[in-house]
Amino acid sequence: MTTLSAQDLQIPYSKKGLLPSFSFELHSPAQVFIAGANGIGKSTFLKQIAGSLKSNNAICIDLKPIANYSIKERALRIGFLEQQHPIHFPLIVKDLVVMGRYAYKNALEAYSPQDYAKVIAVLDELGIAYLYEKNFLTLSGGEQQLCLLAQLAIQDPDIILLDEPTQSLDLHNKERVFEWMEKQVSDKGKIVLCVTHDLHWITKKKGYLIPLNNSNIELLPLSENLVLATIEKLKAQLL
């Protein structure tokens, strides 16, 4: 079992302030959605969990501060799909996705046929096996997003962080990604944290919701009433 915890965590946000400090403890398997207005600190929160932004040792995995994990150890524990990707050069999809296995390799060790078999399986699971030999830069934004999700999937970390993973997807693929997330929790026992504005899609989901706001932050059991109330607050700019 994996435990992700935070004690008196403070999140900086774009209005140059700090959100109220909050604490939480999650045990796998768990699915958590994070909601809030633009600029409130949702992406920053995920970056703190990933260890790419400092959190003053407030965040721990299995009681060990994130900062105390080596880069390779962290890659085995946490996978992070950010909103923006830094890929601006030609790269075949299979070679991009297989890089998710880097944490399992020694220096200069080549990727194996077994690694590429995992790539095929994950691409098929996400409905994009036809992209295996394609140039990543020639793909649509939605296809690129699914390829990057596939890379994270074969990384196979204990904790999955997703920053608006459905933002550029059509309705069919939104549903596919939400179903994939649920399987990571129910079938593989992972902890999944997902920032999303697609709140109508999670009204029937199980798990938790963290509505980020300026007054009080809590990890709340997910319910249809909670999600609908959160949507109304966002519409009224009260959250």
pLDDT of residue 108: 85
Which range marks the domain in which residue 58 is found? 3-235
Please state the rounded mean pLDDT for residues 183-201.
Answer: 97
CB 172 within 8 A of CB 128: no
**Which H helix or E strand runs over 168?**
none
Q: Is the pLDDT of residue 16 over 70?
A: no
Please state the rounded mean pLDDT for residues 70-92.
Answer: 92
Please state the rounded mean pLDDT for residues 211-234.
Answer: 93
**Which H helix or E strand runs over 182?**
helix 171-186
CA distance 190 to 39: 28
CB 230 within 8 A of CB 211: yes
92 DSSP 8-state letter: B
How many domains does the chain divide into? Answer: 1
CATH number for the domain that contains residue 197: 3.40.50.300
Q: What is the mean pLDDT of the chain?
A: 94
pTM score of the predicted model: 0.95
Q: Is the pLDDT of residue 47 over 80?
A: yes
Instruction: Report percent pLDDT > 90 for the chain.
Output: 83
CA distance 83 to 43: 8
